[in-house]
Structure 1
Amino acid sequence: MDAMRSVFDLAHSNVKSFVQSEDVHVFVLIMFAFLGAITYLSYWVPKLIVSFMPTQNLKKKYKGAKWALVTGASSGIGKSLAKELAEQGLNVVLVSLKETILDETFEELKKKHPEREFRKIGVNLGLRDGSYLREIEEKTKDIDVQVVFNNAGFMLTGFFDKTKLDLLMTNHECNCTSAMQITHVFVKRMLEKKLKGCIVFTSSAAACQPTPFSALYGATKSYISAFAANVACEVKSRGIDVCAVHPSPVASNFYDKAHKLDALAFFQKFAVTPDQLPKEMLRPIGRIVWYDIGFVAIAFRNLLKMFDYGFFATLISWTAHTMGDYKKNV
């Protein structure tokens, strides 16, 4: 027993000496620096490489592609994407609410690109009866759509409990479920016909952080980004590129129906115009699965490399009641 105790004491003494030595302090610092370097380099190296690569012509990238489909195509980012795709030589299916602005965009594009073919599908992607999907399927059954931009979405602001459930479900359907169902239709068609193509999602910087007073928006965008990442793993090797793009705020009518939040107004100061985005959104397709555009999106992604998401959410939950938006809406 005495011998065993002596061995234990010696081992304990050696470990204590090692822990107290300068060598172990240096080792720990090096390990933390190494882990930090991996964390940031795994983000910045791909980001910078893709940023310096040229934007892409999707008609040339997917040889033989003739048709693209864009949801939320009547205005904002969707309209700018439709214009860019038409300029690249693709025919475009415009999917949006059945409103005058869709007719105006349709006529504008036909006039600007008489050599292209355009189709308009006026549907409400927030309806939970599935009617929008049946109409999209029916009106595209005679064409091969190889480029799909799931761009439609809207934001509800204010307290979650004060928002009507029907409106929340409509928002969820439009932002999440419709994109999933549309993706299923066109991925399945492309795989059955062995066609190459892409599915691109307009997500948001809000996908990467808690978003009080617009809870469902941040949650639906998190879903979109996660869904894109998961589907990308399944179909990349079969010729379909999937990408989720996180733009910073965009100066469009997207925010017109939202409550005026101080936080929203602050981030809108960094907004870019919709026409600045399409070429940047085409850049990462097939090269990277997630891509951040603009200062706000990049800042949010890097913030959550400094802080764990759970810790950050806990911190905000403890402090949200001190925010001006909370006090105005409670």
Structure 2
Amino acid sequence: MSDQNTYTLVTGASNGIGKAIAENCAARGQNVLLVALPEPKLEEVAAALKEQYPTQSFDALGTDMMQKESPQEIYDWCKQNGYIVDILVNNAGLGNSGAFLSREASFYYGQMQLNMVSLVMLTHLFLEDMKRLPKTYVLNVASMASFYDIPYKGIYSASKRFVHSFSRSLRKELEATNIGVTILCPAAVLTNPDVIQRDKEMGKASKMTQQTPEEVAEYALARMYQGKAIAIPGFMPKVYKALGRIIPYSIQMRMLANAFIKQSK
């Protein structure tokens, strides 16, 4: 149960893992702030939570986190409304598959801004305030891709490796404080029709790692509250991570390239 004046802030909260985390936190009795693109879906999710949990507080902010000013906009919105954030969930992100030159440079700029820069800026803005509270948490959503170099998914995997490295470093810096830092590294999560189709193209290997957003959210939050550094939902993703330490790099690269080139055709 959250203090009546404190909130969990979830970015990318209108769909997929972000939506599931927001719903899970609400079910735990927490007040929740939902941040996502300014689309009707965001207001629908917020309205549904308000109806289901009338004694708790919910609010939504539509903003494009690919824009440089968005993290400051989010922080200022919280300050202006008196929202005290004790759990920050940096979930918003953009994935893709395909040959590097198949996308315009502007796409990758936006992807890197969203997946890395906005996450860092938002964390930096809220961290000083979070230090003043009894116990707070940062949950950064990376990916199983953060453990590998992935041809045909290079910018995405590199951006998630950045999230992984930044989060581990920050966790060490904050280990003597009240702030816990956990990294969520999910594999295949069936979040929308495009993801489901891409996942289907990956074949059996991907099917063995599939999980619902609700399963991922429950596992991630449990690990976060336990103070764990990393949350890898599911048995098979843990197996794949272990195999990554054994399989020679050149073979890994060939296997990953063969797998993800299917999505670029």
TM-score (norm 2): 0.88
> 3-state DSSP class of the match of 1:238?
coil
Mapping 1:1-330, distance limit 5 Å? 59=2, 66-127=6-67, 130-141=68-79, 142-191=82-131, 193-253=132-192, 255-256=194-195, 262-263=201-202, 266-268=205-207, 270-285=209-224, 286-307=226-247, 311-312=248-249, 314-317=250-253, 323=258, 326=261, 329=264
Corresponding residue number in structure 2 for 1:41: none
- Identify if the C-alpha distance between structure 1 residues 219 and 65 changes in structure 2 by more than 3 Å, giving closer, same or farther: farther
Listed as ranges, the gaps of 5+ residues in structure 2 are none
CA contact (8 A) 1:147 1:197 kept: yes
CA contact (8 A) 2:143 2:185 kept: yes
Alpha-carbon deviations, 1:212-259, whole Å to 9, x = none? 211111111111111110000111211100000112211111744986
CA contact (8 A) 2:4 2:31 kept: no
CA contact (8 A) 1:249 1:271 kept: yes
- Identify if the C-alpha distance between structure 1 residues 173 and 296 changes in structure 2 by more than 3 Å, giving closer, same or farther: farther
C-alpha separation between the residues in 2 aligned to 1:102 and 1:328? 29
Amino acid at match of 2:6: K
Aligned-residue RMSD, C-alpha = 2.6
CA contact (8 A) 1:261 1:325 kept: no
C-alpha separation between the residues in 1 aligned to 2:190 and 2:259? 23
Alpha-carbon deviations, 1:61-97, whole Å to 9, x = none? xx78721100110111111111111122211110101
CA contact (8 A) 1:156 1:258 kept: no
> 3-state DSSP class of the match of 1:120?
strand
Identical-pair percentage: 24
> 3-state DSSP class of the match of 1:247?
coil
Instruction: Give the length in aligned residue pairs.
Output: 262
CA contact (8 A) 1:70 1:82 kept: yes
- Identify if the C-alpha distance between structure 1 residues 205 and 317 changes in structure 2 by more than 3 Å, giving closer, same or farther: closer
Task: Name which of structure 1's ranges 167-176 and 273-282 shifts more when overlaid on structure 2.
Answer: 273-282
Alpha-carbon deviations, 1:163-196, whole Å to 9, x = none? 11100111111111111111111112222x3542
Amino acid at match of 2:243: L
- Identify if the C-alpha distance between structure 1 residues 232 and 115 changes in structure 2 by more than 3 Å, giving closer, same or farther: same
Structure of greater Rg: 1
C-alpha separation between the residues in 2 aligned to 1:162 and 1:71? 28
> 3-state DSSP class of the match of 2:98?
coil
CA contact (8 A) 1:209 1:300 kept: no
CA contact (8 A) 1:97 1:123 kept: yes
Alpha-carbon deviations, 1:18-40, whole Å to 9, x = none? xxxxxxxxxxxxxxxxxxxxxxx
TM-score (norm 1): 0.72
- Identify if the C-alpha distance between structure 1 residues 109 and 320 changes in structure 2 by more than 3 Å, giving closer, same or farther: closer
C-alpha separation between the residues in 2 aligned to 1:237 and 1:217? 32
Post-superposition offset of 1:315: 3.4
Amino acid at match of 2:220: M
Post-superposition offset of 1:204: 1.0
